[in-house]
């Protein structure tokens, strides 16, 4: 039997769909799963000359063309290490393992190092797009040895989504953990954007008493303008979904506790570690943490009376607020991207990754969860300005200048109507801090010097100073 071009281990939905995508592009793929029944039923449903299953790991490895290329698509963490150690005795020098899960980048760096010592190549490849993306074209974020990557490129290029110019949403990002780092930041931005959308939903409902389908109509319009994006697209049917188990709309019955698997938290921690303000992302993670404390929240809600809740605005104000909200969301999203790219820049410098920000924006134009019109703007801006920090690029400055006021209007509205806006207000604070030549940190320095003789610097002369305050 003809050998397969590539193998794939891990047949949860993402793995299944990725394998089907590869086979549909005319690359023969062998699949293996720890639980054989999953593999058997998958092959029964989707098997073909290009998609074959093996029940035995050794036979799976032997079914592959040499040097072997094996995609691992299992849960991040220990399962990846377990798969790697079960594969190792069966591999030859020069074979490549490609981790397509949401692995934490330090793990990818470690694995690449450990495996290279045994002459096995390791590529950490972020894959975004959920189940549908995996099947019809994901955005792919590979990192690792460039030469090894070039051997995988034809397959990965064929299965990737397309950007706005119909080019594949895949680009080599850098050594070792670069791909998984970029995917982690992608997810951090995903958290911030989703949080801002939830804040918009909340304020419309609290300030005007709008129902889910009424908000759907507004979001549908947003999706025809500068907020056009996959997330707004899927938000509309979610808001319109009728409950099939009870009266009313399903969204109103969904428990308000947001789950998280870790990528947003890793991004938030990275921001702190590297001293980069990614507050829109940090606040989005925080909002999920607050949401998870349902019992405590419910108890506190009986103890405090929030005078803002229930105070609705007159409907005449709605039209104007819809416009302001659109503009505020645009500013907020631009700022969450600016923060995400700032983090990438800081990491790239330290890790010696030669990241190309225009390329990153480009490969996020299609396939991934944060795909949006805005990415085309960012891609063009980075290209025109030689990858300068987003905040400084002329077109982005003009966009932020125009939309920044709406961020203020909307966060005031949120405060007045008892709709918390952690990410949108973080965007406003971050922007106002970053674009101020002078902040209030002089006051912090005064306090630090007073209680701890930590010293301070002056704006009008060189040197380090300490004052006996009050004397």
The rounded distance, in Å, linking the Cα atoms of 341 and 189 is 10
Residue 102 as a binder of ligand 6PG (CB under 6 A): the answer is yes
The rounded distance, in Å, linking the Cα atoms of 146 and 123 is 9
Question: Among 101, 86, 80, 95, which Cα is nearest to 14's?
Answer: 101
Residue 142 as a binder of ligand 6PG (CB under 6 A): the answer is no
Which span sits near ligand 6PG by CB under 6 A: 46-54, 125-133, 210-218, 313-321? 125-133
* Cβ neighbours of residue 177 closer than 8 Å, sequence gap 6 or more: 105, 106, 108, 109, 112, 124, 143, 351
Residue 387 as a binder of ligand 6PG (CB under 6 A): the answer is no
Give 315's DSSP letter: G
Measured from the CB atom, the residue of 267 and 339 that comes closer to ligand 6PG is 267
Residue 260 as a binder of ligand 6PG (CB under 6 A): the answer is yes
Residue 168 as a binder of ligand 6PG (CB under 6 A): the answer is no
Q: Give first-to-last CA distance, the chain, whole Å.
A: 90
- How do the residues of the chain divide into helix, strand and coil, expressed in percent and rounded to 5? 60, 10, 30
We find the least distance from the C-beta atom of residue 288 to ligand 6PG, in angstroms, to be 8
Residue 261 as a binder of ligand 6PG (CB under 6 A): the answer is yes
Site string for ligand 6PG, 262-301 (x = CB under 6 A): -xx-------------------------------------
Residue 369 as a binder of ligand 6PG (CB under 6 A): the answer is yes
We find the least distance from the C-beta atom of residue 301 to ligand 6PG, in angstroms, to be 25
**Residues tagged active-site:** 183, 190
Pairing of strands 51-53, 69-72: unpaired
Measured from the CB atom, the residue of 53 and 177 that comes closer to ligand 6PG is 177
Q: Which two tokens stand for residue 241?
A: 């979904």
Residue of minimal CB distance from ligand 6PG? Answer: 128
The rounded distance, in Å, linking the Cα atoms of 38 and 56 is 13
Residue 377 as a binder of ligand 6PG (CB under 6 A): the answer is no
- Please calculate the CA angle 172-178-181 and round it to the nearest 5 degrees: 125
Give start and end residues of each alpha helix (H) in 177-229: 178-208, 212-222
- Greatest CA separation found in the chain? 90
Number of neighbours of residue 364 by Cβ within 10 angstroms: 28
CA trace torsion 151, 154, 159, 163 (10° rounding): 110
Site for ligand 6PG (CB under 6 A): which residue of 17, 63, 175, 187? 187
We find the least distance from the C-beta atom of residue 194 to ligand 6PG, in angstroms, to be 8
We find the least distance from the C-beta atom of residue 249 to ligand 6PG, in angstroms, to be 22
Which span sits near ligand 6PG by CB under 6 A: 4-12, 62-70, 127-135, 462-470? 127-135
Residue 10 as a binder of ligand 6PG (CB under 6 A): the answer is no
Site for ligand 6PG (CB under 6 A): which residue of 182, 368, 393, 424? 368
The rounded distance, in Å, linking the Cα atoms of 342 and 239 is 33
Residue 130 as a binder of ligand 6PG (CB under 6 A): the answer is yes
* Interface with ligand 6PG (CB under 6 A): 102, 128-130, 187, 190, 259-261, 263-264, 368-369
């Amino acid at each position: 039997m003809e050998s397969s071009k590539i193998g794939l281990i891990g047949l949860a939905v993402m793995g299944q769909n990725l394998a089907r995508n590869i086979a549909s592009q005319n690359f023969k793929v062998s699949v293996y799963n720890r639980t054989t029944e999953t593999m058997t039923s998958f092959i029964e449903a989707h098997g073909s000359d290009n998609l074959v299953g093996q029940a035995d790991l050794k036979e799976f490895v032997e079914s592959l063309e040499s040097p072997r290329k094996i995609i691992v698509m299992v849960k991040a963490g220990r399962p990846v290490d377990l798969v790697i150690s079960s594969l190792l005795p069966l591999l030859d020098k020069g074979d490549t393992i490609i981790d397509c899960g949401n692995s934490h980048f330090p793990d990818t760096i470690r694995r690449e190092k450990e495996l290279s010592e045994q002459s096995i190549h390791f590529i950490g490849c972020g894959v975004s797009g959920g189940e549908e993306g995996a099947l019809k074209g994901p955005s792919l974020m590979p990192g690792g040895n460039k030469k090894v990557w070039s051997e995988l490129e034809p397959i990965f290029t064929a299965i990737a989504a397309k950007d706005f110019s119909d080019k594949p949403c895949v680009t080599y990002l850098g050594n070792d953990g670069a791909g998984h780092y970029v995917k982690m930041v992608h997810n951090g931005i995903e958290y911030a954007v989703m949080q801002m959308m939830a804040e918009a939903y909340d304020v419309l409902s609290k300030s005007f008493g709008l129902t889910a389908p009424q908000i759907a109509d507004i979001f549908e319009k947003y999706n025809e303008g500068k907020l056009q994006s996959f997330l707004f697209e899927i938000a509309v049917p979610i808001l319109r979904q009728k409950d099939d188990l009870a009266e009313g709309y399903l969204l109103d019955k969904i428990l308000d506790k947001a789950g998280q698997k870790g990528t947003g938290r890793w991004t938030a921690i990275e921001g702190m570690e590297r001293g980069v303000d990614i507050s829109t992302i940090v606040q989005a993670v925080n909002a999920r943490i607050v949401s998870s404390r349902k019992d405590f929240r419910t108890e506190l809600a009986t103890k405090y009376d929030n005078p803002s809740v229930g105070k609705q605005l007159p409907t005449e104000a709605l039209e104007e607020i819809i416009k302001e909200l659109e503009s505020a969301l645009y500013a907020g999203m631009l700022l969450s991207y600016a923060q995400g790219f700032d983090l990438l820049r800081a990491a790239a410098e330290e890790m010696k990754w030669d990241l190309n920000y225009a390329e990153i924006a480009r490969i996020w134009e299609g396939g991934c969860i944060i795909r949006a019109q805005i990415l085309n703007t960012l891609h063009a801006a980075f290209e025109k300005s030689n990858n300068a920090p987003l905040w400084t690029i002329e077109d982005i400055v003009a966009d932020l200048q125009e939309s920044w006021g709406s961020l203020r209007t909307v966060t005031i509205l949120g405060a007045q109507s008892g709709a918390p806006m952690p990410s949108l207000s973080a965007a406003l604070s971050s922007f106002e801090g970053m674009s101020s030549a002078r902040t209030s940190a002089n006051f912090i320095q005064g306090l630090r010097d007073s209680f701890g003789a930590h010293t301070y610097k002056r704006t009008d002369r060189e040197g380090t100073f300490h004052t006996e305050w009050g004397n």
